[in-house]
Amino acid sequence: MPTLDELAVKWLEMDKNARTRQEIMELVKAGNTKELELRLGSRIAFGTAGLRASMEAGFSRMNDLIIIQATQGLCQYVISQFPETAFSRGVVIGYDHRHNSERFARLAASAFIVQGVKVHFYDQRVHTPMVPFGIKQLNAVAGVMITASHNPAKDNGYKVYWENACQIIPPHDKGIAASIEKNLEPVCWDADLVDDEDAEGSVSRPLEEIRKKYLEELKKIHEGVPQTDLKFVYTPMHGVGLSIMKEAARGMGLLEKMVVVEEQARPDPDFPTVKFPNPEEKGALDLAMATADEKNIPYVLASDPDADRFAFAEKVNGTWRVLTGNQLGVLFGAYVLENYKGTDKSKLAMLCSTVSTQMLSAMAETEGFKFEETLTGFKWLGNQALRLQSEGFDAEYAFEEAIGYMQTEIVPDKDGISAAVAFLSLLRNLASRPEPLTPSQYLETLYEKYGFFENANAYLVSPSPDHTAKVFGEIRALGGEAAYPQTLGSRKVLKWRDLTVGYDSSTPDNKPTLPVDPSAQMITVELEGNVRFTVRGSGTEPKIKFYVECKAGSREEAKKGAEEVAKDLKEEWFRPQETGLIVP
């Protein structure tokens, strides 16, 4: 194990960026061993989500050296997987508006170019789904998007897509991580190589063509939808969504009806008007709702900074109501079902993640379409949707409660712009009915038909992944001689699925049908009284999250059941005062 001094020397030998070199030199000079340990003591882990961290010097952070090393490893792995075609098919590279995003994208492009792999380089900021869409259109072997989505301004990230336009899943994550370790010596620091005349044959700039094709695909979503009058407010949350959203609205004949939140319209990597640039966060839509009030408009649409997520708020009886990710997910699902063009509903497939509402499953049971759940993340939803399509299903739609929605035929990943187009189509459809409905009224009809589903989601802060694993181990031990605890509060446990240890009480062989991952904590439980919950350790934040849902005959009864179980979870399982978990 190298000493901190040796790690600092190694960093200074490899890093050619004057600013990040200076950061490490100053820490060494100040004798700040604690910060040096944080920066240099461990390497940022490459996983299915790629890389994401704050932009600072160090092996555990996002910086020029890490980008070069990651791309060199990815490049060699891609060549090993596609030895005959990787060089000519190439990779798609895009970036958002964050600090250093364009530079990181250019350095990534250089790492591919010097190895002879063609780069399809987007030379303007794009929303994240444009990278997987480009992979589909260009038949590329992979893609890289430089973005940290809705993380704080100090962060950036490196997201990898495979040839099927989905985010990577095992075993590719481990293969790429191993390849990175074998290719740590940086070869090229030239961020301008992508502009070099000598590299012309190795670089294409297809953004204009890809953008046109994307907008053409969006038109398919609103084909045949009544052209009712509709005004709405839109905010890109200081991100990159506005330009493509304008074109999408133009294609629907709604550009003149779209009012943009001026204070949040332009890309700004510092996100000055919001605490966190996430439409889900409390207060994030306040400016948009104020703009709507000013203009007397009842609807607000929002995307997160890289425009792969979608949010919606509606004025109901004089009060703004922000629909949850689950509520939007159900509305989209019902709209897909109503407009399914196939003759056999059993061929229609819809998906959601295991932490999302089970209402889509209840709809499938009643209506006869196929429903599947996956692990958390669109890497799983996208790949599973493509698998279902290969089996002859029309896997048209998937969603996740964290305001992510996928129109599979556009791109097998979440997309805030295609979701906005689909939702505007739904609004027009509802307004044109013999008895017009608002989204909230439509949602109410769905609850009346399929049952009321209410959620009580929350999280606790954990000091470390090891601490999280210890707490989950103590929960498992509550079962004593049994494989798992038999009760929670006054309710009996009916089903227990533990995707960490690989146990499922509901299958004949007690093995889960979903993938097992010993490095990630995730338990899903069904209780008496139509309550289901999942508890998991977050892979990107120091949190233990729980997602509780109750189904009942009334909203009040469902809400009461969900809140009771959330309280029991905190008091009986997680016990913050005893376990050291922090209540936010």
For the annotated catalytic residues, the residue numbers are 149
Task: Say which DSSP state 343 is in.
Answer: S
Neighbour count for residue 461 (Cβ, 10 Å): 15
* H or E, element range at 86: helix 86-89
CA-CA-CA-CA torsion for 288, 292, 297, 303, nearest 10 degrees?
Answer: -10
SS3 string of 72-115? Answer: HHHHHHHHHHCCCCHHHHCEEEEECCCCCHHHHHHHHHHHHHCC
In angstroms, how far is the first alpha carbon of the chain from the final one? 36
Alpha-carbon 115 to chain mean position: 31
The whole-angstrom separation of Cα 159 and Cα 67 is: 11
Handedness of CA 350, 322, 308, 47 (dihedral sign): negative
The whole-angstrom separation of Cα 306 and Cα 239 is: 6
- Under a CB-based contact definition with an 8 Å cutoff, are residues 566 and 583 in contact? no
The whole-angstrom separation of Cα 72 and Cα 112 is: 7
The whole-angstrom separation of Cα 443 and Cα 334 is: 9
The whole-angstrom separation of Cα 352 and Cα 358 is: 9
* H or E, element range at 51: strand 51-54
186's CB contacts (< 8 A; 6+ apart) are 14, 16, 65, 68, 69, 72
Taking only Cα atoms into account, the Rg of the chain, rounded to an integer number of angstroms, comes to 24
Measuring CA to CA, which residue among 421, 448, 446, 222 is closest to residue 331? 446
Q: What is the amino acid identity at position 72?
A: Q
Tokens standing for residue 412: 């097998």
Handedness of CA 77, 390, 380, 422 (dihedral sign): positive
Measuring CA to CA, which residue among 76, 81, 54, 80 is closest to residue 66? 54
Measuring CA to CA, which residue among 272, 267, 265 is closest to residue 246? 265
Angstrom CA distances, 279 to 151, 312, 332, 388, 412, stand at 11, 9, 18, 31, 22
Strand partners, 301: 234, 312
The whole-angstrom separation of Cα 261 and Cα 297 is: 12
Residue ranges with strand state E in 175-248: 203-204, 232-235
Angstrom CA distances, 420 to 201, 204, 300, 403, 431, stand at 37, 30, 11, 12, 16
